[in-house]
Structure 1
Amino acid sequence: MNKLHQCLLHTLVLLPTSTAVLAHESHEHDVEPEKKELSMAERRIQQEKDTQDNPFVLTPHKMNYILPYTKTDSINRAAYDSRPDWQENFDDQEAKIQLSIKVPLNYGDLFAPDDALYFGFTAQSWWQIYSDDISAPFRETNYQPELFYVAPTEWQHFGHNFGWGVGIEHQSNGRSEPLSRSWNRAYLLGFWEKENTAFAIRPWVRISEDDADDDNPDIEDYMGNFEATAAYQYESVKFFGTVRNNFSTHKGFVELGVTFPIWKRLRGYIQYTDGYGESLIDYNHSQRRFGIGIALTDPI
């Protein structure tokens, strides 16, 4: 497996992704090696490598996008009993924004060749931009810092390259009671990819908190115990899907997305979500949402 293949686990948005330092391959007898067409994951690895030393470039972690218009079939009013002025005037149409970056914490090997340690940060916001009666507030913003380690392998499963990782993350909405929501998780990651397809699974365990500090003790019942993600590229169009589930409660969440080129680096983005926990304030609220907008970066 070449160096690009060894780094493939660093590449998905819906996943804890990172970018390893790619080693230079030697050229025996000064003969130009035969060029191999890069897979979808390898192309992102190479593009990130090309800009990793540029101080004016931020490396994306998960997907970055702006959805100026989304519509839900069930806006969550129940959680905002403490803000009746908001509760009564919420609109089922709002904007949704996600920004996500990552920073390498090592540039050499730590425990294994080509392994890597990363810090990532993701922020998601739901903006009531169409609610003029309440001055268009940000209904909810979630903050997700994480620390994760990834290491390459030489394994292949059914012709697909395999990689793994491990991480820890905190997620909260930065609010005081009664709107405060937060939890901490430790997770494992398994990642498979080949050509224009990729698949990952990320099981986790919640890190327990004191009962007095836990503002959502049943969050796992709705947010699930694992996340599975898939990606596929057909020509210049990319399709993505994410599923979360708790097999005990049979509650979960589905996100589907497609991006397509529109102008230079900008891509159109259509997103559909269904289920519990699109945001932390909605962790125990089920809804369907459709959104359309711009992808600044693809997840892979």
Structure 2
Amino acid sequence: MTIRLGLGLPQMRQYDIGKDIPDVARAAERTGYESLWVFERALFPDPPTQGLYGVEGLPWPEGYRGVAEPLVSLTLAAAATERALLGTSVLIAPLHVPFQLARSLATLDAASGGRVVAGLGTGWSHDEYAAASVRPFAERGAALDELIGVCRAVWGPDPVVYDGEVTRIASAAVGPKPARPIPILLAASSGRARRRLVDRADGWMPTGIGAGAVADQLRQLRDLAAERGRTEPIATTLRVNARYGAAAAAGAERREFHGGVDRIVEDLTAYAGLGLDEILLDLQSTTRDAEELKDVAAEVYEKARAAGI
């Protein structure tokens, strides 16, 4: 079975959001990409109070200084396309009021004809939590649990009833309903997060950290699913954060998904036999503008398909 290929939309500050997101979305769909994706970065601490991903000393990319809001970005893409799935990779769950996010996703799914995929995570930036979170950082897992519960309730039949820490719905009609059950994917890596995924989600969103490591994690996840009696398959969408160009390829150490199109495709082939359902390729951080992003994305797609991906 051929792996689906998806493309990250241009949300960073070098792009003209209102013009470039619809333009890239249309071009990607014409090229053959089967899904379009957005990510969430709420702010850029200046000066930084912690490293990227919470790793001491790891700098934040300059592109994070102005990342367009994900659901607005996805709405622009929805209006410009007809077939491609519309995914979040990922929304930081605790930065959103659960009821409002559930309604926004349902409305977007209804408007787009059933194309939304909800990728969710807990985040890591203390500054983003201080600015926007509905619950403290220490309660991020509980916040994600409640968001999933609220979404399932709001997207389900009326009357909707839910009693949680943040959200209480006594009994209400809530619409519009999504066009079909919206898949929930989680970026789970720890033991507790994997159990949440197996018990409550539809799929997994790993990042490109080496084909061997992803294969090991996928095997562990499937073993856990068997232990916990899950019979439904776990959908898998691999996120690849590529850095295109000669500058990205510079340096003594060869880094995965850094370099020209041929190198990126070569690295993709290592993941092709893992049994993944989809690969999301995000190229936006190092392309100069939307024209280059469209050109590179088209070349990657064509060469990846020619290589059997």
| TM-score normalized with structure 1 length | 0.31
| TM-score normalized with structure 2 length | 0.31
State the structure with more CA Rg. 1
Structure with higher strand content: 1
